[in-house]
Structure 1
Amino acid sequence: MLRRILGLSLLAMPLVAQSGTRSPAIDSLLSIRAIGTPRLSPDGRQVAYLMTSTDWKADRFVAQLWLQDADSGVAHQLTRRDDGVSQPRWSPNGEWLAFVGTRDGKGKPQVFALAVSGGEPLQLTKAEDGVASYAWSPDGQRLAYTASHPDRAREARDSSYGGFDVVRRDYARLALFVLNVDSAMVTPQVGDRRTQGTAWSVGAFEWSPDGAAIAFDAQRTPDPVTASTADIYVLHLATDSVRAVVTRAGPDGDPHWSPDGTQLLYTESVDYFHNAHLAVVPANGGASRIVTATFDEQPQFVAWSRDGVLFSAQQRTASHLFRLDVAQGTVTRVSGPDPLAGSGWSLSRDAQRVAFVQASPTALPELAVAQVASFAPRTLSHQSEQITEWKLGTREVVRWKSRDGAEIEGILIKPRDFDPSRKYPLLCVIHGGPTGVDRPVLPDARTYPVDLWVNRGALVLKVNYRGSAGYGERFRGLNYRNLGVGDAWDVVSGVDALIAKGFVDPARVASMGWSQGGYISAFLTTTSTRFAAISVGAGISDWRTYYYNTDITPFTINYLGADPVADPAIYAKTSPVDYVKNAKTPTLIQHGELDRRVPIANGYQLRQALEDRGVPVEMIVYKGFGHGITKPKSQRAVMQHNLAWFNHYIFGDPMPDFTRMVSVVQ
């Protein structure tokens, strides 16, 4: 039986976070059901989306497919699969919803289709190594998908010699396949492979409006180090011929057809911190033209209608929808109000209605719909009912000047009963990226139990340090050849600005972060005496170690300008271990065992260097994980380890034995 939820809120967002009295426990924070990936039906009357919940018994997060009427608010749960689903897509006629999943939790991910009118999902694909992505043809009669093609020669090699990889030569490249939907609804199909050879690995793709061609981006290999080789191609299905349309230096990706099929719009990039731009090129090849040259942020394509291109972009701590006039290159903001934090934008076929997820400082992210022209959002979901009993802090944007005069923003989270005449502990939480951004919204990341500290009487400052998204190209470039150094200025100056206001206890200040935030925290632990305790999550401790071991070596060159042999001085300037003789701050190090992005050697190196100098240090390795800790039980451990560490050094609680999991004051 389909589960039904009735009701439709006409308010912009509920103010639920102001009335609760109970501080949430860690397991409650990790058990929040979350809405994501909204997909508006072609006629704009229904919204499909994923609802992710926590399966503690299986130790995983599971996403199920839901369908909600955009007018009445009636919602139905469509799938109940043990391992969940992903990538929901409407058929062009709106009668089917496709998704990627497995058969009874076994085998490789395949494309399934579910009739909106009811019935069981039908498996459409039978890709031997599973489906990476897929798209319906404009008439709904065919399905294109990407998958790796089985490498029989490698299978024979491994059978004789065991498994091994030749570094940066052994790859499973993605190819394009096309199948007939009617046939696949009778028996799952292996599509016809339409891109041949090993010259490329296919990424994003889109059907032409007439269904005669597919535009796609491809790079030489699926390895991130070859991302700069990505170019734009068009596959003509009648002849299986492929034409290179854009072959400029630098990565070019995410191609989309104009409504009349004569042009392609794509994203043109240079490196990690310069603005990416949307550009257009004739579909048959020719000169390309940047159409967002005057827009000072990173545009993310949403849709191309007869009224122009719609794209989303970060604007400081907000996130909005914009319309681009392709001919004139002019950009107009569509959404509002100014602080709107929207994501997951999805439009109806006529681009008159939009569905999206709306975040807020006082409520959980909710599903919303709006008419594009008037943009008066209506909230469809009731996610925030999960936290009505919770006591949560208030969130506001604050600004200060860094050491070099750069304006920095952050999010200050205060206890609900904040009294400026008191002295509060201050915990800094630093986002990753570096081109991430923190916003004054709920919920917080599943790494640091922010509101538990706030409810105990602490302030939390989230710092949008130089390099963060949303503040323009110049701001993102301020940490070029200045990584760590300038970032640390931004954090410490923020701490000093709040101390100057008189409500922060300077003896009880801490810092923590993951990835780039972990690197900045590592830099602070060896260069500053401001902090009583620090936590380094998957952070870089030595850029030389990072450069030689990471899977994204070009990132280092982009930001530091040279390799370690060509310019050893810049690597010394920006590496926390080079300042370790100054370290005194007790430091917790957390790292995934299998991290290829920031290899775990960085954690071991920092731990040993601190121990050698008598600095209190603990290192915890989370087994089986890479750069992110992705399962609920291990996320529970991450949060509890951080809670115990800072409860001891900031609040004076006894230090638990980390070799045993014990209850921690929450």
Structure 2
Amino acid sequence: KTLYDITNEKDNTNIVEDTLHWNPRRIYTFNLKSKEITRLTSNAYRINNYEVSENGQYLVYREIRSPDYGVDGNPKPNYVLMDLKANTSNKILQGLQSPTGFKFTRDGKGFYFSAETSSDPEWNGSGIRELYYYTFATGDYTKVPLEWENGLAGEYFLNGNGLIVQLANGPLRKVRYYEKNGGDWSWKNIALGDQQEHVSVLAFNQDSGKLIYRYSTASKLPEYFLAKISVGRKNVSLEESQTLTSLNDKLKKKPIAKSEVIYWKGANEEEVNGILYYPKNYEAGKKYPLVLSIHGGPTGVDRDSWSERWSTYPQIFTDKNAFVLKPNYHGSGNHSQAFVESIKNGKYYSLEEVDLYNGIHHLNQKGYIDMDKLGLMGWSNGAILATWMTLQYPDMFKVAAPGAGDVNWTSDYGTCRFGVTFDQSYFGGAPWDDTNGKHYNEWYIKYSPIFEIEKIKTPTIIFHGSEDRSVPRDQGWEYYRGLQQVGKAPVKFLWFPGQPHGLQKITHQLRKMKEEIAWFETYLFKDKMEENEAFKKDSPLASLLTLQQNMTEEGLLGKMKDGALLPTVVSMGKDSISIGTHEVTLAQYHAYTGQSYDRLLANKPVTGLSKGEIEKYLSWLSGKSGADYRLPNTKEAKKWHKKARTAYKNQNNLNHWGGYELTTLDVPDLQTKLGELKISLIKNAGTHPMVKVKEGVVIYDLGGNVAEYYT
């Protein structure tokens, strides 16, 4: 830090930009033995990416030359290659767009890297990534002939003169093996059997020849494998494959929706694709609701791989018997350069709108969906498109849930952290550029929903993080205020403090999902129960209402069967035992004896029975109910005693009457005092709050009232 930095750190002022004090960032070495620090570079600007060769001779780095580079993509970075032994450096890779992923070969002859190919490199426009090789001897680079128009997808890995390369393939992925022979390359597909096109290579070790890869589909949970690559003259395969680890074992037991990759004609009569998830209880011939879950980017892509997270969770909606479609619209990544760039220069929205509309009607023509039950959701660009569809088709959708989406491109240009490059690329210029005889760029107005927001009638729930700089945070406020002022649609706006473009806090992710699901239940599925906002679900009143469900019309705890009052029980799980929800009452016990009892004490627990009397009652109960009733065994009793010790608060026990947490030394003296009472402290079964044993299982009086027998 300079003296200027230290002097001006006394408050929390955020200096947005100060080019006079934009100090360089350089690379240093640290000697582990001598603790000596040595500077390697003398660059004038900021290094933000570098790689060192394995033998320590070469260093390649990227130097950002302006604090505005992230916004407007200019001036272009310097890429520098240093020979650390010869102490020389040269600028390299000039004319390429965003080189990255530098990997030195072990033979010391060069390095590989990838770079973007687009029609508008001046704005770092989106396109496809291609692979290159730089040769030290000539100081030049060569494009590796992938012979694949969609370019790279994910990381690539070196293996001597070979490379493991992952290729973009729309909703799928190819994995190939390339080999360098002099100045030429050849390739072979890696044989992956029935896992073909659904594998992602995560790591590779050249010394062992082993790699780690993930296999999944949209309806198959991820599995992770360790395997050894085998390179033959004609074939490349993975051998000695073994499961690396087992994850999501509990989730594997749950029903998973069927899914498939589907194709339909989109804009320009070109084929588009998407992932379709079927309702869990799908029956051919029936029509179901449809949820359109739209990815962001726009260069994101929905692949045929497992994808369930806070922003998109098709399994939950298929649980509600809906189809879910994740469309890969024009502009999506993992496709050809022409497809990715098709929505640039004033075509943003226009092609995607057709893709989404046609995708919906494709499913309707198949007889899959109910056109009166359509919903939209999406994050970032997915939210942008969801909003656009509600604007263009005001009566088509019953619900929309956009998160972190733009509605005003005129303000996005200046406030988005990459607003200049993005908007220049997709809208063909700046907002003030004269277009079509106008003194402004009309695309910024034409494609900003805020200027036509009065058309939207779809119930909309909006989400936004307060620290979002990718889609400026005030976009959410403009969106909300517009819908609120127009007043044609129910609207709700959730603002997440401290959160960037993607929600990071689990509590915020969960809140977003719960609110979103409730919104869909209300306006699409129409199965949301009207909630009483003054009613607390774990209150004493809730406990009493639950207790009431286990009463007869005469107010007796239990259930009637063949004229006899029997205890109510609750199952602990599938193929498991059931336990009594309450203590056995006087009324229940005397249904067996036939003896009379004080009706005012009917719901009090029966006490003072011998073990023999209890066994006779259980025998009668088993015969009367057709189920096998017994006392808990020692192991079960210890388990319930342990649970009781954690559930003693607000129960009828000595702590309650003493008014504090007793020790064993206190008990005899307090019992002596209790002996002075002339009334019974035993309450009706279920008087005190219920105890939640597990999800969906509650019982009463576990931590107090009367003691229980066990065997």
1:355 to 1:449, Cα distance in 2 relative to 1, 3 A: closer
C-alpha displacement of 1:286: 3.1
Q: 1:318–1:439: 8 Å Cα contact kept in structure 2?
A: yes
Report how far residue 378 of structure 1 moved. 3.2
Pair 1:334-2:197 in alignment: no
Cα distance 1:662–1:636, how it changes in 2: closer, same or farther (>3 A)?
farther
Q: Which residue does 1:83 correspond to in 2?
A: none
Report the alpha carbon displacement of residue 349 of structure 1 after superposing the two structures with TM: 1.7
Looking at structure 2, the residues matched to 402 and 643 of structure 1 have their Cα atoms a distance apart, in angstroms, of 29
Are the equivalent residues in 1 in contact too, given 2:65–2:78 (CA < 8 A)? no
The equivalent of 1:375 in structure 2 is 238
Which of 415, 423, 437 pairs up with 1:549? 415
Give identity over the alignment, percent: 22
User: Which ranges of structure 1 fall in alignment gaps of 5 or more residues?
Assistant: 1-149, 184-188
Q: Which residue of 2 aligns with 1:642?
A: 516
Aligned in 2, Cα 1:284/1:656: closer, same or farther, shift over 3 Å?
farther
Query: What code does the residue aligned with 1:289 have?
Result: T
In the alignment, is residue 250 of structure 1 matched against residue 97 of structure 2?
A: yes
Alignment CA distance shift 1:309-1:571 (3 Å): same
Contact 1:209/1:260 (CA < 8 Å) preserved in 2?
no
Instruction: Deviation per CA, 1:343-392: give whole Å up to 9, x if none.
Output: 35322224732212222344432221223232254322111413132222
1:601 to 474, 479, 484: 474
* SS of 1:556 mapped into structure 2: helix
* Residues matched between the structures, number: 509
Which structure has the highest helix share of the two? 2
The Cα offsets for residues 7-27 of structure 1, whole Å up to 9 and x where unpaired, read as: xxxxxxxxxxxxxxxxxxxxx
Question: Structure 1 residues 516, 591: CA separation in 2 closer, same or farther (over 3 Å shift)?
Answer: same
Which residue in 2 is equivalent to 1:153? 4
Q: State the Cα distance separating 1:396 from its structure 2 match.
A: 1.0
Task: Tell me the residue number matched to 1:559.
Answer: 426
Deviates more, 1:550-559 or 1:238-247: 238-247
**Which residue identity is paired with 2:51?**
E
One of 422, 427, 447 as aligned partner of 2:286: 422
| Cα distance, 1:281–1:388 mapped onto 2, change above 3 Å | closer
1:404 partner SS: helix
Distance in 2 between residues matched to 1:517 and 1:570, nearest whole Å: 19
> 2:634 is matched with which residue?
none
Equivalent pair of 2:466/2:498 in contact (CA under 8 Å): yes
State how far apart, in whole Å, the 1-side matches of 2:428 and 2:185 are.
32
Q: Identify the residue that residue 217 of structure 1 maps to in structure 2.
A: 62
Aligned equivalent of 1:343: 200
State how 1:312-323 maps to structure 2 within 5 Å. 312-323=166-177
Are the aligned partners of 2:175 and 2:197 in contact in 1 as well (CA < 8 Å)? Answer: no
Partner residue of 2:360 out of 480, 491, 495? 495
Contact 2:47 2:61 in 1 (8 A): no
Pairing of 1:26-37 with structure 2 (within 5 A): none
TM (norm. structure 1) is 0.71
The answer on whether the counterparts of 1:175 and 1:201 sit within 8 Å (CA) in structure 2 is: yes
What is the distance in 1 between the residues matched to 2:313 and 2:18?
Answer: 39
- Aligned-partner residue type, residue 184 of structure 2: Q
| Residue 452 of structure 1, CA deviation | 2.1
Structure 2 unaligned runs (5+)? 231-236, 436-440, 538-694, 697-711
Cα offset for 1:511?
Answer: 0.6
Task: Tell me if 1:482 matches 2:347.
Answer: yes
1:365 counterpart = 2:210: no
Any idea what SS the aligned residue of 1:242 has? strand
Report the equivalent of 2:405: 539
The match for 1:291 among 133, 144, 147 is: 144
Cα distance per residue 1:536-560 (max 9 Å; x no partner): 1101112212111110121221222
Cα distance change, pair 627–172 in 1 and its aligned pair in 2 (3 A): farther
Q: Using a 3 Å threshold, how does the CA distance of structure 1 residues 405 and 554 change in structure 2: closer, same or farther?
A: same
User: For 1:198, what is the secondary structure of its paired residue?
Assistant: coil
Contact 1:359 1:441 in 2 (8 A): yes
Given candidates 497, 510, 513, the residue that maps to 1:623 is 497
Q: Is the 2:25–2:45 Cα contact (8 Å) retained in structure 1? A: no
Tell me the CA shift for residue 168 of structure 1: 6.3
Give the letter for the 1:336 counterpart: L
Map residues 151-550 of structure 1 onto 2, 5 A cutoff: 151-159=2-10, 163-167=13-17, 169=19, 174-182=25-33, 191-203=37-49, 205-221=50-66, 223-225=69-71, 227=73, 229-238=76-85, 241-248=88-95, 250-269=97-116, 270=121, 271-283=124-136, 286-292=139-145, 294-299=147-152, 300-326=154-180, 327-334=183-190, 336-337=192-193, 339-350=196-207, 352-373=209-230, 374-375=237-238, 377-480=241-344, 481-529=346-394, 530-550=396-416
1:40-189 correspondence runs (5 A): 150-159=1-10, 163-167=13-17, 169=19, 174-182=25-33
Please identify runs of 4+ aligned residues in structure 1 that moved more than 6 A.
Answer: 655-663
Write the letter of the residue equivalent to 2:92: V
Deviation at 1:395, TM superposition (A): 1.4
Give the 3 Å change call, closer, same or farther, for CA 551–660 of structure 1 in structure 2.
farther
Query: One-letter code of the match for 2:256?
Result: L
| Alpha-carbon distance in 1 for matches of 2:79, 2:136 | 10
Name whichever structure is richer in strand by fraction.
1
CA contact (8 A) 1:656 1:662 kept: no
Matching residue of 1:101: none
Cα distance in 1 for residues equivalent to 2:348 and 2:187: 32
The residue type equivalent to 2:238 in the other structure is F
Partner AA of 2:362 in structure 1: A
* Whole-angstrom CA distance in 2 between matches of 1:263 and 1:623: 48
The one-letter code of the counterpart of 1:163 is: T
Letter of the 2:431 counterpart: P
Go from structure 1 to structure 2 and tell me whether the alpha carbon gap of 1:209 and 1:594 turns closer, same or farther (over 3 Å shift).
closer
Q: CA deviation at 1:193?
A: 3.4
The TM-score with structure 2 as length reference comes to 0.66
User: Which amino acid is 1:518 matched to?
Assistant: A
